[in-house]
């Protein structure tokens, strides 16, 4: 029997609601597999700031250091609520980015996946979707403009100014490109390199490093695409993409667009992998507009659990079962309101989690 310690950071907004569903699933996974999960709930995000004055309190840091994996809900406050907190201490700058930096979780896997049977959830026409959407966006997560030098002040003319740097060194670029190539090698052997080398010097260096890495992966075909063009291509012909690799800010934007072509951000789980530690979170935010209503789609959170089972705990077969269970719930016509169309049976966050648990419990246990 293996014991895994999970640091659970439910966070703000819909975070606690969808985390509750993740825990239901973990409790069942424990019953079906020779594993025990010790889950520690920790304060993180806006809620932690209001409790302690720190969005990433020391006690949370120490518990995350010790945990085998971190499962995060969502953080962030509404535009108006955010103003109650000094900029540097807001949940994004005060908790999430420090979490990423602390564990150098440089490789962010954001699957954009919609099987053909669920194509009706997408706003794209069926002829555009074809056999479904199955893209792995790999986003560099600890570099770029997010973590570059920043300065704010008043210039000689008395005007307020900012100076914000997009910084990468070649090692940071190389390690994420390698993840891109390895992932492409394990899938369809096509890697879309998304960049903006017609303007950004950072992309010129990125592409130079890519040329150096590529010879180690001669079995992988590289296709280059400018990021603006990629935004259009995701809408008009998503089927051309399999693995896409890109820098931090491009990945932030295009992955939310990924949620758009699926039909909801609630379909976007993710895994954030570092050299020694990984954390798992939905790609989306705390959805203040629907928080507290028990209507958020917990797929992204439960999908993040599936990624954790596979990537941190080696429970590959159970992870597959969990993906299948999620699909079964939708295929039976049940969905949360974000995806509901005529004919769908709208259910709550909690009811969706219960249905996933029911579907998983009917599947053969892993050997």
> Under the rule (CB under 6 A), what is the footprint of ligand NAD?
14, 74-77, 92, 96, 264-266, 281, 284-290, 296-297, 300, 338
> Residue of minimal CB distance from Mn ion?
252
Dist. CA 353–CA 66, nearest whole Å = 28
Q: Does 54 bind Mn ion (CB under 5 A)?
A: no
| Phi, psi (degrees; rounded to nearest 5) at 133 | -115, 130
Contact string 41-80 vs ligand IPM (x = CB under 6 A): -----------------------------------x----
Q: Does 41 bind Mn ion (CB under 5 A)?
A: no
Dist. CA 55–CA 52, nearest whole Å = 8
- 5 neighbors 288 (Cβ within 8 angstroms): no
Dist. CA 110–CA 237, nearest whole Å = 18
DSSP per position, 186-227: HTTSEEEEEE-TTT-HHHHHHHHHHHHHGGGGTTSEEEEEEH
Note if 289 is an active site residue.
no
Among ligand IPM, Mn ion, ligand NAD, none, what does residue 122 contact (CB within 5–8 Å per kind)? Answer: none
Distance of CA 111 to CAs 105, 117, 188, 283, 332, Å? Answer: 17, 17, 15, 10, 23
Q: Does 30 bind ligand IPM (CB under 6 A)?
A: no
Note if 12 is an active site residue.
no
Name which of residues 228 to 267 contact Mn ion (CB under 5 A): 252
Dist. CA 72–CA 15, nearest whole Å = 8
User: 228, 316, 345, 362: which one is catalytic?
Assistant: 228
User: 68, 252, 344, 354: which one is catalytic?
Assistant: 252
User: 23, 196, 277, 355: which one is catalytic?
Assistant: 196
Instruction: Please report how close the Cβ of residue 106 comes to ligand IPM at its closest, in angstroms.
Output: 13
Kindly tell me which residue out of 252, 344, 354, 358 binds ligand IPM, with binding defined by CB under 6 A.
Answer: 252
Among ligand NAD, Mn ion, ligand IPM, none, what does residue 77 contact (CB within 5–8 Å per kind)? Answer: ligand NAD
Token representation of residue 13: 């907004």
- Tell me whether residue 30 or residue 252 sits nearer to Mn ion (CB atom): 252
* All residues at 6 or more sequence positions from 225 whose CB lies less than 8 Å from its CB, including other chains: 192, 193, 194, 195, 233
Dist. CA 274–CA 46, nearest whole Å = 24
Q: Which 3 state secondary structure label does DSSP give 302? A: helix
Dist. CA 100–CA 86, nearest whole Å = 20
Instruction: Please report how close the Cβ of residue 26 comes to Mn ion at its closest, in angstroms.
Output: 25
User: 68, 256, 344, 354: which one is catalytic?
Assistant: 256
Q: Does 283 bind ligand IPM (CB under 6 A)?
A: yes
Number of residues that bind Mn ion (CB under 5 A): 1
Note if 196 is an active site residue.
yes
Interacting residue ranges for ligand IPM, rule: CB under 6 A: 76, 92, 96, 252, 283, 285
Q: What are the residue numbers of the active site?
A: 146, 196, 228, 252, 256
Interacting residue ranges for Mn ion, rule: CB under 5 A: 252
């Amino acid at each position: 029997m293996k014991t895994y310690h999970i640091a659970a950071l439910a966070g703000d907004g819909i975070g606690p609601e969808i985390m509750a569903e993740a825990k239901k699933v973990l409790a069942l996974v424990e019953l079906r597999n020779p594993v025990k999960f010790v889950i520690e709930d920790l304060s993180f995000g806006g809620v932690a700031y209001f409790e302690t004055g720190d969005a990433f309190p020391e006690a949370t840091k120490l518990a995350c250091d010790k945990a085998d994996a971190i499962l995060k809900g969502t953080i962030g406050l509404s535009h108006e609520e955010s103003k109650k907190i000094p900029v540097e201490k807001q949940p994004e700058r005060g908790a999430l980015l420090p979490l990423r930096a602390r564990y150098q979780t440089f490789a962010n896997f954001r699957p954009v996946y919609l099987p053909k049977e669920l194509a009706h959830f997408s706003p794209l026409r069926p002829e555009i979707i074809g056999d479904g959407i199955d893209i792995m966006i790999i986003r560099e997560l600890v570099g770029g403009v997010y973590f570059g030098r920043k300065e704010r002040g008043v210039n000689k003319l008395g005007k307020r100014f900012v100076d914000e740097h997009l910084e990468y060194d070649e090692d940071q670029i190389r390690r994420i490109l390698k993840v891109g190539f390895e992932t492409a090698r394990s899938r369809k052997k096509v890697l879309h390199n998304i960049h903006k080398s017609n303007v950004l010097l950072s992309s010129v260096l990125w592409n130079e490093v890519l040329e150096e890495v590529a010879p180690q992966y001669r079995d992988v075909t590289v296709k280059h695409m400018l990021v603006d063009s990629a935004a259009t291509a995701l809408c008009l012909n998503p089927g051309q993409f399999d693995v896409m690799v890109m820098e931090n800010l491009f990945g932030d934007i295009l992955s939310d667009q990924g949620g758009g072509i699926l039909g909801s951000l609630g379909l976007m789980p993710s895994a954030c992998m570092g050299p020694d530690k990984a954390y798992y979170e939905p790609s989306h935010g705390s959805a203040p507009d629907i928080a507290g209503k028990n209507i958020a789609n917990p797929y992204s959170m439960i999908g993040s659990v599936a990624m954790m089972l596979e990537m941190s705990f080696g429970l590959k077969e159970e992870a597959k079962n969990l993906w299948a269970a999620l699909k079964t719930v939708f295929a039976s016509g049940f969905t949360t309101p974000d995806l509901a169309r005529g004919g769908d049976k709208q259910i709550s966050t909690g009811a969706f989690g219960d249905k996933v648990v029911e579907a998983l419990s009917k599947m053969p246990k892993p050997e």
